[in-house]
Amino acid sequence: MPVALVSRVRNRDLRPTKLRRTAQRLLDAVGYPKASLSITLVGDATIRKLNREYRRKDRPTDVLSFPLGDGSQQQLLGDVVISVATAKRQAAEYDATLERELERLLIHGILHLLGHDHHKRDERLRMEREERRLARAIGMPWPY
């Protein structure tokens, strides 16, 4: 299977098999059904360390994406790392389930792997449209 998922945290609300299937549906929706994708679920300490090392931001974040290659090899997308602790806090803020928030973060992370960005207004609007489209593709209301 092209989607690999590793959980480095224990949480009884996690459903890794379902999240892996959702990732495959998202890959189908973006036109890369055979692409390789790695998802790692971590805690805040791990994602903070990665955020500090790769983005020079010394704080936890919700999701980080690490594309493989230069973008020309779309069959090797890359790695999405999600902080379950941050996702859980955000889910509570949005009155959503942890599962929904993980799906939202997975969409966001995959779009970053595909080159989408949200630092400039026009890029952000394009990315938000694609987030809505992918949410619909997996039957997720947006925003929830």
DSSP secondary-structure letter at 70? T
Q: Which residues pair with 67 in a beta bridge?
A: 78
How big is the chain, counted in residues? 144
DSSP secondary-structure letter at 69? T
Give Rg (Cα) of the chain.
14
The answer to whether 35 and 75 have CB atoms below 8 angstroms apart is: yes
Q: What is the pLDDT of residue 119?
A: 82
Domains of the chain by start residue, with CATH: 3-137 (3.40.390.30)
Q: What is the pLDDT of residues 73-128, one digit of tens each?
A: 568 899 999 999 999 999 999 999 999 999 999 999 999 999 998 888 888 999 99
